[in-house]
Amino acid sequence: MPDDVYARQNFGNRVGIGRSPALLIVDFQVGFADPDVFGGGNVKDAVAATVPLLREARSLGLPVAYTRAVFADDGSDAGVFGMKVPALKRLTDAAAISQIVPELAPEPGEYVVRKTGPSAFFGTSLASWLNAKGVDSLLVTGATTSGCVRASVIDAISYNYRTTVVTDCCGDRALDPHEANLFDMGQKYADLLTAEEAIAAARAAVGRNETD
């Protein structure tokens, strides 16, 4: 089995959730939930699974941040990413397909990051916002698992956040890359938890703070 190599080389250790987690929802936009635009696979299921996780995060008072892939109306800021996937330039600020899905709509006080690259961090002020909130850990959901979720997770650990990918709250337009990237992130960059497990872990983190 491939994972025998990882175990023998001591990959895949758990880092856990620290004292101050936040929820990061990556690119759950209308277009990425629509199989006729950028969606497909298990993205719609991942959106549905994120609804109770978001509700719990709010009830616990966790910081919540979203990302939106948004490009200028003339596509002038799309760069090489836009050359690789020209259809992304349809995600202008006012376009219906670029809006966050209604069932996960942000509430006042939640942070929405506009980005033109795969990572939630590159060229954005997300890290500054998280640091101002005292965040030390991230629960990451969104689309796509192999694309912007993965890029955001790699940058999250590079910023030294304890990072957890919420497996059933991430989706991809094809299941093979979804599963392969979950495995790889779990071995090198993040812990993997289901939504139910992530909720329990977040409750435990908040509980620890309340008893100190």
Q: What letters, b where the CB count within 10 A reaches 16 and e where it falls short, cover 151-167?
A: bbbbbbbeeebbbbbbb
Residue matched to tokens 């993040």: 190
Q: Annotated catalytic residue: which of 148, 149, 192, 195?
A: 148
Active site residue 148: yes
Query: At a CB cut-off of 8 Å and minimum separation 6, what does 104 contact?
Result: 25, 28, 47, 50, 51, 54, 66
Start-to-end Cα distance in the chain: 44
How far is the C-alpha of 41 from the C-alpha of 39, rounded, in Å? 7
Residues taking part in catalysis? 148
